[in-house]
Chains A and B, each alone.
Chain A
Amino acid sequence: MTAELERIRGEFLAALAAAAGDAAAVEAVRVRFAGRRSGLLRQLEDTLKSLPKEEKPAFGKALNELKRFVEEQLASAQAEAERRTAAREAVDVTLPGRRPPAGALHPVTLVRREVEEIFLRMGYSVADGPEIEDDWHNFEALNIPPDHPARDDQDTFYLPGRLLLRTHTSPVQIRTMERQRPPIRVIIPGRVFRRDSDLRHSPMFHQVEGLVVDEGITFAHLKATLEAFIRVLFDPRLSVRLRPGFFPFTEPSAEVDITCILCLGKGCPLCSGSGWIEILGAGMVDPRVFAACGVDSSRYTGFAFGCGLDRVALLKYGLPDLRLLFSGDERLLRQFEGVRR
């Protein structure tokens, strides 16, 4: 009789192997062998009852071993089948998530805020002023009288009523000094307009301007301030180089170069091999400008500086073309998604 048990054991193993981990097939095997009503093992229990007394212990022991074996095998086959089912139904975790749309600040806004933060930390306020200006604030008070050749450098959009679109942020220097007594520490970011349009010029662009007026302000203060600014904005390894220049509203005036941010001075196409890029204009406030604003130039000195924010954005982010900034092209703008300042 135990030979019969061996045969059933073999049959069971073959059936389980044929079920191959499929949940339904494993269940069919369970019903056939271990079903409570008519499973083969149940039938063998009936057989046991009908055996002569002396054969019962040996057959009973073998039958119990077979039952335990079948139960263990079924349990592990069922677990395997469940695992396979779960694997088949699993989410594809590599599909993209449903991301809420992210906003993007304009690159000029990003650099403006970065510049503002640097100067706010140094105790400067951030001022603004009108984009439609009068001749006094845009030119005359800045020591650019009518018919001055310097007006050629700033082709101006004129408006009715002897008004104009400001050609630089400098008129806000005048408005600040007209309103406030020294000490003055202010930066003025803003939109400006010049009648000029080509690859490198846009009729609308952005500047940031700085003004410091106090007793004992020196040229050395100007240099250190620009150095601190440039190193935080771009790279702490950069140097600042001042060359004599000319602006009607500063005396002396300086063109300010910084170490090329790409090659760090080794020479590359960005800096035309010179290792330097021109980025700012600066100088000591001309006493004529103080006089126009009612500031006592025998008591106070001051410095001013300015640079193009668009150009800073081009340099900082490696953008190729100024005009791209004002195209509203989301392929560009969305590259700045989630960048905060």
Chain B
Amino acid sequence: MKFSLAWLRRHLAGDCSADRLAARLTAVGFNVELREPCGDDEVWDVEVTTNRPDAMNHRGLAREAAAAGCGTLVPLAVSLVEGAERAHALARVTVEDSVGCPRYCARVVRGVRVGPSPAWLAGFLERCGIRSVNNVVDATNYVLLDVGQPLHAFDLSRLAGAEIRVRRARPGDRLTTLDGVVRELHGDDVLICDARGPVAIAGVMGGADTEIRATTTDVLIESATFDPLAVRRTVRRLGLKTEASHRFERGADRAMARTAVDLVAALIVQVAGGEVAAGVMDSAPTLPPGRTIAMSLARLSAFAGCEIPADFAIRVLTDLGLEPRREGDAVTCRVPSHRVDLELPEDLYEEVLRHFGYDAVPPVLPPARGGPGERLGSWPVTDRARDALMAVGAAEAITFAFVPAEWDAALASSPLAGRGAAVTIENPLSARLALLRRSLLGGLADAAAANLRRGGSRVRLGEVGRVFFTNEGGPREEERLALVLAGTTGAWDESRPVDFFDLKGLLEGVLGGLGVVGATWQPAYAGVLAPGEGAAVVRDGQVIAVAGRLADDAAALFDPPAALWVAELDLAAAGPATTPVFQPLPRFPAVVADLTVRHPLALTWEELVAALRAAAPEWLVEVAPVVRYRGEGVGSDEVKTTLRLTYRHSERSLTQDEVNAAHFALMEALAGKLPVSFT
């Protein structure tokens, strides 16, 4: 909020330099963010927190400055001369809704001459960012910025029946506000009405019909307080924020409503002439008693963690107008009507502490308590997942949790994405951010495609994050890991395009790192993966991961210049972190023998190995692929697979004759069970 330094000084006696004033205000919680010279004056941009509406004006800020040791607060002087004519004879005020409007004060000024404001007045307003309108309206704005009371001036001659009624809106109520917009009003809105209907939306904006114009001579000034909740609801519904509503939403000072109406009447006469009618219309002249808060000086020091001298605490509370009364350790404060934020002893601790200075409190580490800390919830598994990504050479990406509907639709056929409906955002920033993701693949595929388009040739990205579903039980979050691979792999002199087995190797590495055991790879024909180039990883009958080439129609959404190999894993499948257990090292040498098998393409490696193991002695310890051959001499639906068999007995050395016999028996058994040959 903008403040004028010269204006602040009008409320402060004593000479305090501008630098000290700015430093002290910042220290006690009113951060002076910017100081700009402006002629003889300086304009300050001061951050006033939302809980301190009382300091959103020059006098309020000056009160804080005085309490912070920058002089003393000058008493508020009102020099008002009333004429003979009685206000009550000229207008009538009725408050029908005292909840929506706890206090309504009004005065009448007759015979004003509406015109431009004097330079000093227009200057003050403009420095604080308010456009000068005319002398009467400017006077109300001046008092607003001076003491924080929002005011409104009506052209009395245009108030039907010379009457003000404060009530809730009724069906059909509408008003053209000062900004020329027709506003439909609603049962929650508090309205200022005349005998005919609405003339202002309470605490927000006046109506165009009754505004002050060049020909206005008689003015009715409103100085009221309105219910913060009612004002806030109206502001939100109409999307209309004003200087007045900003303050009423945060809580206005009921005592100031009465004082300000005198201040503004006197100022109008000073700048626009006329005469103030005698008397004030006041709907609630008696103020309710202020709250009292009791606190303990010993607890204040204990709370701060250092000794706060009692005299200091009392001095600050006094300067802030809290009228502290001390009885031994107990201090009782009376909360003035402008301090809407004070309720609890802790609120008083804050008042004393911020003036004591947060910097003056010596730092002391809290004593150690409890055992060592640990990572809770999903952190252990998600962090292991990130480490597993790193171990297979992926760069960790973080992409948005919101996705466009077309991404969601394209990926929905993945068995991992179809675990519930997508969660919609009711107020998205844009259509591109309308749904919560059910799969990490969209964001990652998008990032991979962008990297390829930028000329990246070896894309290897991973992400760990949450996906979201909704069903009868409400929304659910699941932790996921995803990978995308594209372009080439291998070193500079042996580079080649990535394929399924590069992706599978990465995912196997991740599964190993996460202790996922007992999973099998099965061909998958889900629409999200290209036919014949995708797999589902299944454990206990449930798909825990998918991996393969992203199907062309899904990939088209991301416009990648090359194939995208993608994988996604449900992190619920991760096993507990385990401690490795030493296995004894082999004591006897191994015998290695290769075996080349010609077999139909439809016979999988897994089936081949299972048949081998079933027929082999227990000392066949390892079977590994060496090479696969298709081409000349091999049928078009056949393949030659060379396997390397490692034989090793745990208790003795094997003889070559023994191995040979076993090897040939194995070949015979295999040929008996499977459509294989060895030529």
A interface residues (Cβ-Cβ under 8 A, vs B): 96-106, 108-109, 113, 116, 119-120, 122-132, 147, 149-150, 152-153, 157-161, 163, 165, 183, 185-186, 191, 193, 195, 197, 203-204, 212, 214, 216-221, 223-225, 227-228, 241-246, 248, 251-255, 284, 286-288, 301, 325-331, 333-334, 336-337, 340
Do A103 and B369 touch across chains, with their CB atoms under 8 A apart? no
Max count, chain A CB within 10 A of own CB: residue among B353, B373, B383: B373
A-B pairs with beta carbons under 8 Å apart, 8 shown: A103-B396, A113-B383, A149-B50, A160-B423, A252-B350, A327-B450, A330-B451, A330-B461
Further contacts, 15 of them, CB under 8 A, given A99-B491, A337-B395 = A96-B492, A97-B491, A103-B390, A103-B462, A122-B373, A130-B477, A149-B250, A158-B427, A159-B436, A160-B423, A195-B427, A204-B401, A218-B364, A327-B450, A329-B454
Do B250 and A103 touch across chains, with their CB atoms under 8 A apart? no
Interface string of B389-408 (1 = CB under 8 A from A): 11111111111111000000
Q: Is B7 an interface residue (CB 8 A)?
A: no
A159 to B428, CA, bound (A): 10
Chain B residues with CB under 8 Å of A98's CB are 491-494
Do B379 and A128 touch across chains, with their CB atoms under 8 A apart? yes
Q: Is B459 an interface residue (CB 8 A)?
A: yes
Q: Is B344 an interface residue (CB 8 A)?
A: yes
A280 to B349, CA, bound (A): 21
Do A329 and B451 touch across chains, with their CB atoms under 8 A apart? yes
Contact (A244, B456) CB under 8 Å given A183-B370, A252-B346:
no
Residue of B nearest to A110 (CB): B396
Do A131 and B491 touch across chains, with their CB atoms under 8 A apart? no
Selected contact of A103 from candidates B376, B394, B456, CB within 8 Å: B394
A87 to B261, CA, bound (A): 101
A109 to B389, CA, bound (A): 13
Chain B residues with CB under 8 Å of A217's CB are 366
Do A328 and B477 touch across chains, with their CB atoms under 8 A apart? no
B75 to chain A, nearest CB (A): 27
Do A330 and B49 touch across chains, with their CB atoms under 8 A apart? no
Contact (A126, B374) CB under 8 Å given A108-B398, A163-B475, A255-B31:
yes
A99 to B489, CA, bound (A): 11
B interface residues (Cβ-Cβ under 8 A, vs A): 26-29, 31, 49-52, 229, 232-233, 236, 249-250, 302-306, 344, 346-347, 349-350, 353-354, 358-359, 361-366, 368-379, 383, 386, 389-402, 423-429, 433, 436, 443-444, 446-448, 450-451, 454, 456, 458-462, 465-466, 468, 470, 474-475, 477, 489, 491-494
Do B375 and A326 touch across chains, with their CB atoms under 8 A apart? no
Do A158 and B398 touch across chains, with their CB atoms under 8 A apart? no
Do B363 and A227 touch across chains, with their CB atoms under 8 A apart? yes
A292 to chain B, nearest CB (A): 14
A165 to B424, CA, bound (A): 11
Contact (A104, B390) CB under 8 Å given A123-B372, A128-B378:
yes
Residue of B nearest to A161 (CB): B474
Residue of B nearest to A96 (CB): B492
Max count, chain B CB within 10 A of own CB: residue among A123, A131, A149, A153: A149
A104 to B29, CA, bound (A): 42
Chain B residues with CB under 8 Å of A108's CB are 398
Do B400 and A185 touch across chains, with their CB atoms under 8 A apart? no
B245 to chain A, nearest CB (A): 10
Q: Please provide the 8 A-B residue pairs with the shortest distance between their CB atoms, ordered closest to farther.
A: A328-B447, A220-B305, A218-B305, A244-B29, A101-B393, A103-B390, A252-B350, A246-B49
Chain B residues with CB under 8 Å of A227's CB are 363
Do A252 and B426 touch across chains, with their CB atoms under 8 A apart? no
Chain B residues with CB under 8 Å of A301's CB are 303
Chain B residues with CB under 8 Å of A120's CB are 372-375
A153 to chain B, nearest CB (A): 7
Do A325 and B398 touch across chains, with their CB atoms under 8 A apart? yes
Do A195 and B396 touch across chains, with their CB atoms under 8 A apart? no
Max count, chain B CB within 10 A of own CB: residue among A109, A212, A218, A244: A244
A340 to chain B, nearest CB (A): 8
A114 to chain B, nearest CB (A): 13
A219 to B354, CA, bound (A): 11
Chain A residues with CB under 8 Å of B27's CB are 243-244
Chain B residues with CB under 8 Å of A224's CB are 363-366
Contact (A195, B232) CB under 8 Å given A106-B397, A251-B346:
no
A155 to B444, CA, bound (A): 27
Do A219 and B475 touch across chains, with their CB atoms under 8 A apart? no
Do A104 and B395 touch across chains, with their CB atoms under 8 A apart? yes
B91 to chain A, nearest CB (A): 33
Do B399 and A328 touch across chains, with their CB atoms under 8 A apart? yes
Do B50 and A220 touch across chains, with their CB atoms under 8 A apart? no
Residue of A nearest to B452 (CB): A330
Do B459 and A330 touch across chains, with their CB atoms under 8 A apart? yes
A128 to B426, CA, bound (A): 25
Chain A residues with CB under 8 Å of B233's CB are 147
Do A221 and B305 touch across chains, with their CB atoms under 8 A apart? yes
Max count, chain B CB within 10 A of own CB: residue among A113, A185, A218, A287: A218
Do A159 and B475 touch across chains, with their CB atoms under 8 A apart? yes
Residue of A nearest to B445 (CB): A328
Selected contact of A245 from candidates B49, B395, B423, CB within 8 Å: B49
A108 to chain B, nearest CB (A): 6
Residue of A nearest to B363 (CB): A224
Contact (A252, B349) CB under 8 Å given A224-B365, A243-B27:
yes
Do B426 and A159 touch across chains, with their CB atoms under 8 A apart? yes
Do A159 and B375 touch across chains, with their CB atoms under 8 A apart? no
